[in-house]
A and B are shown apart, each in its own frame.
Chain A
Amino acid sequence: MLSHLLGFAFVIPLITLIYFAIPKDKRYLWLLLVSYGFYIYINAAYAGVLLLLTAIGYFGALKMQGDHKKLSAALCILSSLGILVFFKYFGVLYNGVNSILNIWRLQLAFDVNSLILPIGMSYYTLQSLGYAIDVYRGKAEPEKNFAKYALFVSFFPTVFSGPIQRSSTLLKQINQGTDFNYDQAKKGLLMIAFGLFEKILISNQLATITRTAYNEYQSLTGATILFILVLFGLQIYADFAGYSHIAIGIANVLGFSLEENFKQPYFSASFKDFWKRWHISLSLWLKDYVYISLGGNRKGKLRANINVLMTFLATSFWHGFTLNYCVYNLSLGLFVVLENLFRGTKEKLIQTFAIKTDCFSYKLFNIAFVFMCYNFLWVFFMPENMSVSMDMIRRIFCDFNLGLTLSNQLYFLDKPLLYQFLFIKLLVLFFVDLLHENNFSLSGWLKEQNVIFRWVCYLGIAVMLFVALFNNYGEDQDFLYIKF
């Protein structure tokens, strides 16, 4: 991990220097070269797939200007989706066909293990599809410059794990070209540092705990399992938000402004609000291109709620369409639907019992409720097996045993120091999120301080991150969402 990060630390500044040294109207070519270079370096075999999907999106959008608009759109969307489905589900189909052929003692010769999902495919396919649908709906003009469109799809900070970009943001900026902005670059560097803090110091360390606990869950009480699910929720958040911050930070340094992908989701006071804060780019994509395409809320409440469930079910395709992912996503949708259905009842209860809603305690209750509900659902996401999920749920409800958990199960890793440092880091994350929740900009606040104080803070952050790289408390693991 350390050597990868050091390589990254050297390469990005060099890329940036060359980028701004090139004339503004040619800079996109350099970024395109770099983006494909990164992709080929990490996953050379599937650079062709990236190029193919890019070509489909590009030519499909251009063709939509002609006579056969609907046909072109359908072909573009279906072929892009088809390629995605092929790579995502070929293994399932292959195993299914083989199990039938095995009846006659036959087998397919192809080694399915050699076919893996091209890295980042789910993200850039959705990005490309979003562009095609926007062109079809007349919300965007088709891009005539293939290289610029190719850069839009393969933009290296976001190609592997998002955030999923829209043509109205990223493609527009590619066309306009970007200039170096000192404040934006500084902000970008701080975002990268924060992203690394989330990934290395929090997510990797939590992964050590959750993986060990998951392997030994049968010896744990229900309360411990619930605690582990909460930690897993924090792990995923730190991992994914960390990646997003790094990606957005790099883009900032290059002069690009990208939308936030996470906005303190664990401060959500309602299930609906959660989806305006968690993986925002995907949520918005699903809302604009699935929910609204299904009719949105234009056809009555019942249909609107069904559309919500269908939209969440569609997310299962994105995750991998196993039983666990389906139950997980449907449950997420169900929370939103139930919240819609019981809104009136909730308001009546509030009136009947004269509950104050404009106070801290009410907000805290709502936040805690949403937090626990969503973290409970990781019980379907964490295991890949429904029987394990059900066993964990049974233990949570039938063998909670909080006393035993507090007595001796929280130190099952036998490394108390691990917990002390982790607690401090989670507090830091909480504090930063709290500041952002109250619209307090840390980078803006730092800018107002004296230069010595600022530099001491910057040095402290850099040293802390560097020391963390030597800190073996955490597992060195890939970004979790890169597998989708």
Chain B
Amino acid sequence: MKLFIKKSLLFIFMFLGVCIIIDCLSMQKSWQAFIDRMTNSEGFFTNNTVIGECIKKVQRDDHTTKLILGDSVLLQLLEPLEDELPKDTTMAASNSGVLVTGYYMMAKEYLNHHSGVTDIYLLVTPPFLFHYFMYNYQYSVIPFAKADLLKYLDEDAIKMMGSVYGDFFMKPKVASLVGDSGLSLRIYLYYHNLTSSRINFELANIYLRKLYELCEENHIRFHLYSDPMSETAKDEIERLKQDYNKFWIYDKCPEYLVNVPYYPKELFFEDQVHFDKKKITTDILRKITAENFPFLGLSEKPEKSEK
């Protein structure tokens, strides 16, 4: 019996060692695809190219003076029109999963790489600003950890996010490692009990204020706008107005939930948040953008600006 127990313990130790080796191999580019395929982790792995690209854009030395930040709805609106945007504007729309902390980090990085900035625009769909999504660790932490931008967050924010994601997983090196492997990310998401919480409300409140104050300190105009929404969202927006009243930034941007542009539900996808690609053409997107966001300098007719 004793021999059996000793051998069993040795076996368990060796087994764990093999598992760790496989996990480490899954972080190597040459092994990644194979191991992700074998463990069906392909859907979890994210280089998160969109957010990574946005971070690179804000770091690019392109001499722009205006920054547009926003979520996936904004990305859907502006990505086809990016060439038509004024040459003094950097479009860094990504995903609401980055949370307000992500917008803040990108704004800070933009200011570190650009001088003479005049405007920062934040265009987000109100429900995404106020609510928290499960499994967005790979959006709100991993890309920023890889770009070494988590240093812009204060201790309280790290603690707040750590209370949901796990303090250990808020360490930049750990987050980077997890993000390098679909298998690791899957293990993390599978076992970590990520539940919806009101954390984003507090975090959004604090970091919207920080973003505003960052702009104020640097003599930059801060603009907060709502993305176009489906007419089916009217009731929800009315409910959100009560939450928004409690936000610090309400006094600075009271029109955020007042000037929500609504469009017929038929133009939207099943989720009633994103536009339906089959029904939306570039011309329609241009028209919507020009109607609601004239500051972007787009006209309703196609026009290419030189960059």
Contacts and interface: CB of A to CB of B under 8 A. Distances in A.
Contacts of A182: 1, 3-4
Nearest to A186: B4
Contacts of A2: 190
Given A458-B11, A459-B15, A463-B22, A180 B38 contact: no
A17 B4 CA distance: 11
Given A182-B3, A185-B4, A470 B15 contact: no
B8 interface: yes
Interface core residue of B3, B4, B11, B14 (most chain A CB under 10 Å) = B4
A180 B8 CA distance: 14
A470 B183 contact: yes
B11 A455 contact: yes
A412 interface: no
Contacts of A459: 11, 14-15, 18
B41 interface: yes
A467 interface: yes
A13 interface: yes
B39 interface: yes
A472 B8 CA distance: 29
Interface in B150-188: 183, 186-187
Contacts, number: 41
Interface in A314-346: none
B280 interface: no
B18 A473 contact: no
Given A2-B190, A455-B11, A20 B40 contact: no
A471 B40 contact: yes
A362 interface: no
Contact of A471 (B8, B15, B38, B190): B38
Contacts of B15: 459, 462-463, 466
A2 B39 CA distance: 13
A466 B22 CA distance: 12
B19 A466 contact: yes
Contacts of A185: 4
Contacts of A466: 15, 19
Contacts of A463: 15, 18-19, 22
B14 A455 contact: yes
Nearest to A9: B12
Interface in B16-75: 18-19, 22, 37-41
Nearest to A253: B4
B11 A180 contact: no
B22 A180 contact: no
Contacts of B19: 463, 466
Given A180-B1, A459-B18, A467 B39 contact: yes
Given A459-B15, A462-B15, A470 B1 contact: no
A362 B32 CA distance: 49
Contact of B186 (A186, A458, A470): A470
A477 to B, nearest CB: 17
Contacts of B41: 470
A471 B11 contact: no
Nearest to A182: B4
A20 B4 CA distance: 12
A183 to B, nearest CB: 10
Nearest to A185: B4
A199 B183 CA distance: 23
Contacts of B38: 467, 471
A472 B40 contact: yes
Contacts of A186: 4
A451 B298 CA distance: 74
Contacts of A462: 11, 15
A462 B186 CA distance: 20
B153 to A, nearest CB: 32
A180 B37 CA distance: 41
Nearest to A179: B1
A17 B19 CA distance: 25
Contacts of A472: 40
Contact of B8 (A13, A417, A470): A13
Contacts of A20: 1
Nearest to A466: B19
A180 B5 CA distance: 12
Nearest to B183: A470
Interface string A462-483: 1100110011110000000000
Contacts of B39: 467, 470-471
A467 B40 CA distance: 9
Interface of A: 2, 13, 17, 20, 180, 182, 185-186, 417, 455, 458-459, 462-463, 466-467, 470-473
7 contacts: A462-B15, A463-B15, A463-B18, A463-B22, A467-B22, A467-B38, A470-B187
Given A459-B14, A470-B40, 16 more contacts: A180-B1, A180-B4, A182-B4, A186-B4, A417-B37, A455-B11, A459-B11, A459-B15, A459-B18, A463-B15, A463-B19, A463-B22, A467-B39, A470-B186, A471-B39, A472-B40
